[in-house]
Structure 1
Amino acid sequence: MATATARKRRLLAAAFIGTAAVLSACSGNGESTDSASETTASSAPAEGSQESAAALPEPDLADLPEVVAVVNGTEIGRELFTTTYESQFKQAAASAQASGQELDQDLLKTSVADNLVSAELLRQEADSRGIEATDEARAAAIADLLETSQLESEEALRAAFEEQGLDDAEFDQQLSDQVKLDALLADEAGDTTPTDEEIQDTYDAAVAEQEASGETSTPIPPLEDVRAQIVEQLSGDKLSAATQALIAQLREDADITVNL
């Protein structure tokens, strides 16, 4: 049976991916990490099942080059790639198993490398714009991490990351990088708050789709009951679109080499 500690560690392992969901939708090769690891809580096998765990493949990281990619002269090394890949591998493998498919590790590697390249491009752009990680923004980011991980203090948070090999200096660096990325994307996207018309149109489309499908046994709740979810969805869509456009622009002018 999965323990609370195990769940926290999974959350923490992906915590500094931060923009991974957005980056996955913006992969330069046209494929996303979700293509290899589309997962829902209901479809993944229960963690702790010995039969499921035994059937899962091992991450294939043999013959990785020391430098996985170079972005405008900045190297993305094997260690960073390995850490990122392993943080996504188990979920991807479990999802593939649940769907009766074999995990395409080559596709997952390509997606991970592509997302790391995109993240590096965004980091460089944040630096070029003079975006800084303020104390206030860092404190807010730590508060978000505490809420996500269900840990009670910054000390506990740092200790949990240290268990995964991330010392205080690396923690601070990655936290600053993430804060800068968030500020960059917020600046690029501008006001992502949807209009009342957009909210209404999205709701009406969902109702119409349900009616067309004939599955009306569980009607969609009234608009005001789902308004917050629609706002979150539409805001996320606008942020993702702005990020995709920015990454595409940065890639046009970038010198990128991927050695996979």
Structure 2
Amino acid sequence: MKKMMFTLVTGLMAVVLAACGGNEESKENNAKTAETVQQDQQQNQIEEMQKKLEAQQIDEKKTVAIVNDQKILGSDYNSALASVQGFMQQMGQDPTSKEAAEQAKNQTIDSLIGQTLLLQEADKKNYNVSNEEINKQIDEIKKQFKTDEEFEAALKKSGMDMKTFETQIADDLKLKQYVEKEVPVGEITDEEIQKMYDQFAEQGKSTGQEVPKLEEVKPQLEQSLQQQKQQEKLAQQVEELKKNAKIDIKI
């Protein structure tokens, strides 16, 4: 009888333990399932967003604008648009909304026209870059990716092929040369740095953040001021170039 009772109890315990184990396993499986569902939903949202962003692109061969008889094509537009859309997302904006999409379009066209005018000026003044400089810059960019496949995927996502990318690198380097020599910023004064630091410190205090000493952030502030001044001068130069330019926007 005792043996039978022991067997019965042992069997019952086994059933209970199995049930408990099953419950734990079930909970774990449910947790994994919930996590998988969440990941799938996030992936679907990303893919849906990408489709909406790509829907704003245009035919690569379509003429977007003509600047002094030079065509700006859809391939250039799509690449620049992707950059604008990415910046908007970083700033917390939804580039797929009607208002933001129109803003992205106008900003992209304006940027391309300005860049074209500046490059035309650079060509007039015989600024050039060598294939060696272009390849060196491309190699530096490739180092940011683990494999060539990742690099090519990033190119595709940005709406560019290798030829378009090489052309963009060449234009960027040429424009950099032009800006450095033709649009000098000049020295940044201590007063300007102090003013920017005071604004930075005030903003930090209002958000409860610890504000570093001026000496610790002075190089960054100086660089930021240089970039700001350079952008302002470039914008002024573009506006001057527009006055004598023939610009025909097609979209």
RMSD: 3.9
- Alignment of 1:70 with 2:89, yes or no, is no
Aligned residue type for 1:96: Q
8 Å contact 1:69–1:258 — kept in the other structure? yes
Q: Shift of residue 166 of structure 1?
A: 2.1
1:140 & 1:192 partners in 2: Cα distance? Answer: 29
8 Å contact 2:142–2:151 — kept in the other structure? no
Aligned residue type for 2:80: T
1:125 & 1:202 partners in 2: Cα distance? Answer: 33
8 Å contact 1:188–1:243 — kept in the other structure? no
| Aligned-partner SS, 2:178 | helix
8 Å contact 2:79–2:160 — kept in the other structure? no
1:111 aligned to 99, 107, 114, which one?
107
2:241 aligned to 221, 227, 250, which one?
250
- Alignment of 1:120 with 2:116, yes or no, is yes
Greater alpha carbon shift after TM alignment, 68-77 vs 87-96: 87-96
Report the TM-score when normalising by structure 2.
Answer: 0.65
2:189 aligned to 154, 179, 195, which one?
195
Equivalence for 2:231: 240
- Alignment of 1:222 with 2:213, yes or no, is yes
| Aligned-partner SS, 2:248 | strand
8 Å contact 2:193–2:222 — kept in the other structure? yes
Q: Which runs of 4+ in 1 moved over 6 A?
A: 62-65, 155-158
CA-to-aligned-CA distance 1:160-182 (integer Å, 9 cap, x gap): 67766523x54433322111111
- Alignment of 1:186 with 2:197, yes or no, is no
8 Å contact 2:56–2:101 — kept in the other structure? yes
2:117 & 2:184 partners in 1: Cα distance? Answer: 19
Equivalence for 2:43: 50
Q: Shift of residue 64 of structure 1?
A: 9.2
Distance 1:143 1:111, change over 3 A: same
Greater alpha carbon shift after TM alignment, 61-70 vs 127-136: 61-70
2:178 & 2:237 partners in 1: Cα distance? Answer: 10
Question: Once the two structures are aligned, what percentage of the paired residues are identical?
Answer: 23
How many residues align structurally?
207
Distance 1:202 1:92, change over 3 A: closer
List runs of 5+ in structure 2 lacking aligned partners: 1-38
Equivalence for 2:93: 96
Larger Rg: 2
Q: Shift of residue 61 of structure 1?
A: 4.2
Equivalence for 2:29: none
Aligned residue type for 2:184: G
CA-to-aligned-CA distance 1:212-231 (integer Å, 9 cap, x gap): xx637434111111112211
2:161 aligned to 159, 162, 166, which one?
166
- Alignment of 1:79 with 2:82, yes or no, is no
List runs of 5+ in structure 1 lacking aligned partners: 1-45
2:207 & 2:88 partners in 1: Cα distance? Answer: 33
| Aligned-partner SS, 1:49 | helix
1:218 & 1:92 partners in 2: Cα distance? Answer: 25
1:106 & 1:216 partners in 2: Cα distance? Answer: 33
1:224 & 1:162 partners in 2: Cα distance? Answer: 40
| Aligned-partner SS, 2:56 | coil
